[in-house]
Structure 1
């Protein structure tokens, strides 16, 4: 008789645990541990290349043009294509992911505007591109904060060096 009582209780417990599964938690874990790590190296490579030719590392417009056209833009295009290809089911994770896509696309468009500005030697376009880069950084910070908030709400502990986006 005890076996009959234990079995239904165990079955009921398994049934309940299935009912309380958190689809946002599950999707966020896959997103952070599998999907983003598979592509963020492209973003990191593009940003590193960009930084190698700007700021204190700037040497000439021609060098910046070459780095943008040969390294940054093609690599960042691959990144944005793969980022946009990620398909998510939960509204919460998808909403945060859309912020990342928006920031990445804005950054990509800024890189292209810099190319155009260099071709046309248009200082105003450079300023527009810099404004776009500032807005992209803000969106990428919003993405980071959104991920942190979702992780907290769904009992996911992020590592101390959590940095899914390049947010400087």
Structure 2
């Protein structure tokens, strides 16, 4: 039963990671528009998306580490 819980949690974490990747991609797209247009509103929007993406990546890492500790799983960083 623990394995099913871990699998479901992992899928949820992966969806969060995909959301963070998409936000980072939108930031790159916005950056291209900023250089083309020089619009300060686009700069602010792009920075907001970047901050949101970074937070999602941090949250993802923290949640994975918490889940690993709860289930006595050792995470190896390479």
Q: Same fold (TM over 0.5)?
A: yes
Corresponding residue of 1:125? 42
Structure 1 stretch displaced more, 128-137 or 117-126:
117-126
- Deviating beyond 3 angstroms after TM superposition, the runs of 4 or more aligned structure 1 residues are none
Name stretches of at least 5 consecutive residues in structure 1 with no aligned partner: 1-19, 29-89, 164-168
- 1:79-100 residue CA offsets vs partner (Å, 9 max, x unmatched): xxxxxxxxxxx21111111111
* Rg larger for: 1
Higher relative contact order (CA 8 A, sep 6+): 2
Q: CA RMSD, aligned part only?
A: 2.1
Per the normalisation by structure 1, the TM-score is 0.42
Match among 101, 106, 111 for residue 28 of structure 2: 111
Q: Is the 8 A contact 1:103 1:137 kept in 2?
A: yes
TM-score (norm 2): 0.85
The CA deviation at 1:24 is 5.1
The structure carrying a bigger helix percent of its residues is 2
Say if 2:8 is the partner of 1:91. Answer: yes
Count of aligned residue pairs for this structure pair: 78
Structure 2 segments unaligned to the other structure (5+ residues): none
